[in-house]
Amino acid sequence: MVTGSGTAMRTEDFGTLADGSRVHRWTLERDGTRVRVLTYGGIVQSVEVPDRDGVRAQVALGLPDLAGYQAFPGPYFGALVGRYANRIGGARFELDGRTHRLTPNEGRNQVHGGARGFDKRVWRAREVAEGVELSLVSEDGEEGFPGRLAVSAAYTLDEGGALRIAYRATTDAPTVLNPTNHTYWNLAGAGSGSALGQTLRIAAGRITPADAESLPTGGFLPVDGTRFDFREPRPVGAGYDHNFVLDAAGTGPAAELYDAASGRVLTVTTTEPGLQLYTADHFDGRPFGPCAGIALETQHFPDSPNRPGFPSTVLRPGEEFVSTTVYGFTVR
């Protein structure tokens, strides 16, 4: 095990893909938090944190081996998704007067980067202070996206055991970019059953309402008096797959999830303007049952390239994309 200034780290083989690509697993440990990250898909395989009695449990839904992730790619368990998280309507967008046609992989739309997005790539890994940095090059035209994109994601543990994911990217041609991490959380413990009933707070006074294809209508809906009002903590119910417009990204916690039985608290802080709440209602027991985890995906808004009223996701040559999300763990 390699020890940085505060984080203990080790790496090991995790399997081999059919094309001969080797996959490795990095384990990071600090101040009671243990995180395992795969070079395949940038997947957060596990996050183990203590309860109020000091008993550590796995609180992120993960699979035990590489074959599992290949057998169940659709839920994106713990994956780094991109180039564009969430949906792009009609699998197309216009940029600088040119129409770019993407690979559709959800009906007529593209979701989470297409048929072979970031979640199905093997990333290069290197040790950095307090963790591991994963990087790859997405070539011009991959899944229809323009520009040769150099992207990295650093997974590190802060003092206190918080997991920080810091993204950076540059491009050689105008493009759009919207990566996120797709971990499902169950603070009672992965495999303990439904995560519904855990208490959630989201610092958002509006959502972007969606149509039957889960595409935004283009407007904004105040949460006042609706089931989307999580400004005060309340138990999570079923039926959510919606983008929340954060009140003040980067200035305070965007969301907080609390499990009363264990005392575990997850706090999410981000520089992103939106948070997608997904309660995984459609899980069918293979390998997890309905609502076994709650996804809190920090990102820009869905279909932003086709919605000029949304914050821009355009990245141009000479610019650097920078985004950070921190998952903090405490008890009460």
Which CATH number is 148's domain given? 2.70.98.10
- At 252 the pLDDT is 82
pLDDT given at position 5 = 66
pLDDT value, residue 124: 98
Please tell me the total count of domains within the chain.
1
Mean pLDDT for back-to-back runs of 10 residues, the chain (332 residues): 75 97 98 98 98 98 97 97 98 98 97 97 98 98 98 98 98 98 98 97 98 95 98 98 89 93 98 98 95 98 97 98 98 97
Between CA 38 and CA 69 the distance in angstroms is 11
- Domain span at residue 272 reads 2-331
Among 178, 52, 66, 188, residue whose Cα is nearest residue 112: 178
- How far is 189 from 187, CA to CA, in rounded Å? 5
Q: Is 297 a catalytic residue?
A: yes
239 burial via Cβ count (<10 Å: 0-12, 13-18, 19+): exposed
The one catalytic residue among 100, 112, 182, 242? 182
Query: Of 48, 130, 297, 300, which is the active-site residue?
Result: 297
The whole-number pLDDT of residue 236 equals: 98
182 among known catalytic residues:
yes
Counting beta carbons within 10 angstroms of the beta carbon of residue 187, is it exposed (0 to 12), middle (13 to 18) or buried (19 or more)?
Answer: buried
- Residue 59 has a pLDDT of 98
- Annotated binding residues for beta-D-galactose, written as ranges, equal 86-87, 182-184, 241
Q: Residue 251's pLDDT is what?
A: 72
pTM reported for the whole predicted model = 0.96
What is the pLDDT at residue 249?
67
